[in-house]
Structures are given as structure tokens and as C-alpha cells.
Amino acid sequence: MTDGLEIHDLCSALEVLERYGQTVAYIDAPIDPNLDLLSDYLGAYRTATNSVMSAEQPLRLYRKPRTGAFAVLLGVFGSRANTRILLDPQGRHGTEVCNAELVYRAIMSPIEPVMVRSAAERVVVEQPDLHTLLPALTCSAGDPGPTITLGMVYARDERSGATNCSVHRITIKPSSVAIAIYPGGDLQRLIDLHTQRGERLPVSVNIGMDPAIYIAAALSKPALGFGDDELGVAGAIRGRGVELAPCYSNAGRFVEHAQIVLEASLGTEMEAESEVGDAHSMPEYLGYYSPCGEVSTLRVSALSHRPGALYQALSGPGREQSELLGAGQEVSILRLLSEWGMNRLVKDIVAQPAGGGHLFTVLQVVKSCEADDQLVRQLSQRLLEAISSTKNIVLVDEDVNPCSSEDVLWAMSTRFRAEMDIHGTRPLPGTPLDPTLSSLYCPGEYTGTAPKSVFDCTVPFALRPRFRRAFA
């Protein structure tokens, strides 16, 4: 089964997923990327009994979008099973090695990217009309415009060697392109460095790549620090360096195997994300809308693509987004556990999709004595303090499947009492997109911070014989 299961780009990743029985549905009916395509995609898997946030998302390839020059692919990261296959396509590691461990090992032994003199055959369009070329999705009525949802921005400071890979919401407006950049993030730091020198930051926006690169791009502090090379992590996952090629229209670099690449630059220019006052952004990863604000202007100078390129996208809130963000959070937790010498206490880490990969994290813990009852709770509180994107940590035992929300709820139902087993923290910073972190939600509380919680759904060590699980 594992013979020939090598992933080196998006198409080879699809072949591997199909070898594992994940089928791609090919849609040949013409369809409009403006609302209709995503509506059809959501309708393909939504039922009366599942959740749009956590239901597994299928692989679907829309071959005839009414606008744009490329077929649209969704669902690559549509399940945890897919994520595992994409991290370990040859199945070299058993279940005792969790997903976070696979990525953490790559962080510890990165393989630097390789610069090639020129890319393989590509079609290059200078000063491209993105409305004509890209089948970017408009996800909901009132969105600012067609939005690129899986554009990985690669930036590098040639003086220091600091790099950044990150995915951003990129809106194609009638006469400009707008990109939402977190003010305190690494990409903004690189922009500021160049601005101080009177320079613009050359970047590439890479769409449709080896999934290991997207997973690496989801890593943030404390998994990776400023300037650390996410492509080195992706290279280590595959055992070979990611190939980079020089951009055609600027001094930047792009991922050589990327299906579609935008070449662009970033500076100090800001603009309204929407042309309409009082507008909302495309749906955010937690399943809500946010008000539009001022975002950066992306000056696009060229577009290149491979022959027969695929345009990869995701739905905004949904399983794909949660899998990517969750992978990053799981690695951050494992890195801290390892640095603290506490990883022996945790067997698996699962950022549940119901929390968008951030707000609801399950730790499967391993206790060896009664003192561990308190130790795992204290450890969880330290994690909540150290990682701002966390909110709720649920502790479960080894006989509970942390990937199954039903099993986690069973543990909460039978091994948890709210008056005894909820352990809070002091008010801590959280993710700004959490709508409960507001003085409107909790009067008198400072917006942006709130106490976080540990839900201890484990059996006290001394009582384990009483809680022996049937059919285990």
C-alpha cells in the first residue's frame, strides 16, 4: 500500500489521498464562484444532524467555474484522517506517535529550502486581471468581494535571512487587492523592517501546494519564533528541502511547485476592506462575521501558474480551517510540554474542530500516581497562560478517544462534576475573534481578556478500579 506514496506537490497529495480511499468528486456542471459554488459545497455534506463547524468536508473539484481560468478544489484538509495521511503518507509511524509529535520532530530538525535557478514550465501574466483569472469564492452575501482563502504569503528579509510563511484573507476588490494582516504578527514585522529602510517588502502568494507547507504555515509562537523558517519544517516532514524559485517581476521568491502564484509587494498603504460602509468580513474561522476595517494594500505585479493548474480554497469556518489551525495549536502545546519536561503526562493532543482549532483542546493524559491528579490540572493552567489562542482545555484518560467529541462528552457526563472539576485561571488574553471577550458580553470586564478553564474529566487515580470502562 505504501509503495510510491510520496508527496511533493498538491497533485501528488491528491493521488495519495485517493490511494487511501478518499475519493474526489468531479463536478462538471458550470457554477458561479460568487455564492453558488460554496453553497453547493456546503450542501454536499451538511445534514440535519451534523455541524458546519466540525463535520468532515469532502474532496470536490469544480472543473467549470463560470469565472476564472482554473478548476476549484476544496476539502484537502477535510478530516483528521486526511491530515494524518498528509503528514505521514507512508504510514511509518504508529498511533503512539501523535500528529503534533510528527511536526515537532520536524521543527527540531528542519531542512532548509533549496533555491533553483528557474522554475519549471509556467505561464506568466504581468499586471494580471485577477477578476478574470482567479475563481476566488464569495462565501456569503455581503462579503467585501471574492476572497483568496488559501494564499500562503512567503516573505524574506534578505539582510537578516528572517522569513515568514502565513495564510491571510485576501480580498479582490474592484480596483485593488486588500490583505488582512495581524498587527503584531511576523509578516507585519517584516513589512516594518523594510519600511524603516525606505523599501517595500516583496512577497509571493502561493496557492495550491504540498499540504505540509500549509500545515507548517499554521505554526506560530511558541511552536516557532520570529524569523524561523516554516519551509524548513515542511522540508523536514518530507525529508527534502522545499524548492524555491525567483519571482519574475520582483526580488522575491516563490514555492516552485505551487499551482498558482501572485507576485506582489507590501508597504504602508492601508485601505478599507469593503467598498460598503458598515460591511462585514467573509465568515471568520469561529463561525461568525466580523466588521470590516482598515487592511493593507497588496500591490500585485504578476501571476504565474502551472499548466492545468488547480485553484485550492477552503470554506472559511469549517473542518479544513479548524484542522490547519488546530495542527498549529497542538504543536505549540507539545513544544511547551517538552521544554517543561512534562510530555510524559500527555499521550495525545487534539484541538477539536468545534472550537475552530483554538478554543476547545482535549489532552489525553497518562497518570502514574495520585500526585498526577493535581499535576495535570496545574500543567493545563500553565498552558492556558502561555498560549493566547487557547480558551478551554478538557482532560481525559487513556481509555477516552480525544478525537471523538461523543467520547469526550461521555467522559464529561460520567467523570466530571462542575462544582469540583472546573479549574479557572486569572483573566488572560485570548484570540480577538472570540466574541465573548468583550465588556458587552461580560460587563465590567476588560475587552480582550477573560479567565480560561480546565475541565477535568479524568478519574481520580485512586478510584480507577471503580471506573473500569466496559468494552474497552
- Give me the residue spans of the domains in the chain: 10-317, 320-465
pLDDT band at 404 (very low <50, low <70, confident <90, very high): very high
Q: What's the pLDDT tens digit per position in 319-375?
A: 999 999 999 999 999 999 999 999 999 999 999 999 999 999 999 999 999 999 999
The class that CATH gives domain 320-465 is: alpha beta
pLDDT band at residue 380 using 50, 70 and 90 as cut-offs? very high
Question: Per residue in 41-91, pLDDT tens?
Answer: 999 999 999 998 999 999 999 999 999 999 999 999 999 999 999 999 999
In this prediction, residue 472 carries a pLDDT of 82
Say if residue 2's pLDDT is above 70. no
Give pLDDT tens digits for 124-179: 999 999 999 999 999 999 999 999 999 999 999 999 999 999 999 999 999 999 99
Angle at 294 between CA 166 and CA 249, to 5 degrees: 50
On the question of pLDDT at 1 being above 70, the answer is: no
Query: What's the confidence (pLDDT) of residue 146?
Result: 97
Give the model's pLDDT for residue 3.
62
Mean pLDDT of 219-235: 95
> What span, in angstroms and rounded, lies between the C-alpha atoms of 64 and 33?
10
Distance from C-alpha of 381 to C-alpha of 448, rounded to nearest angstrom: 18
pLDDT tens digits for 10-46?
999 999 999 999 999 999 999 999 999 999 999 999 9
The residue-averaged pLDDT of 102-117 equals 97
Q: Which three cell numbers mark 269?
A: 498603504
User: Looking at residues 98-121, what average pLDDT do you find?
Assistant: 96
Q: Decide if 239 contacts 233 (C-beta within 8 A).
A: no
- Residue 446 is predicted with a pLDDT of 79
User: For residue 457, what pLDDT band results from cuts at 50, 70 and 90?
Assistant: very high
pLDDT in tens, 232-286: 999 999 999 999 999 999 999 999 999 999 999 999 999 999 988 778 889 999 9
Q: Per residue in 190-222, pLDDT tens?
A: 999 999 999 999 999 999 999 999 999 999 999
pTM of the model: 0.97
Q: Does domain 10-317 have CATH number 2.40.110.10?
A: no
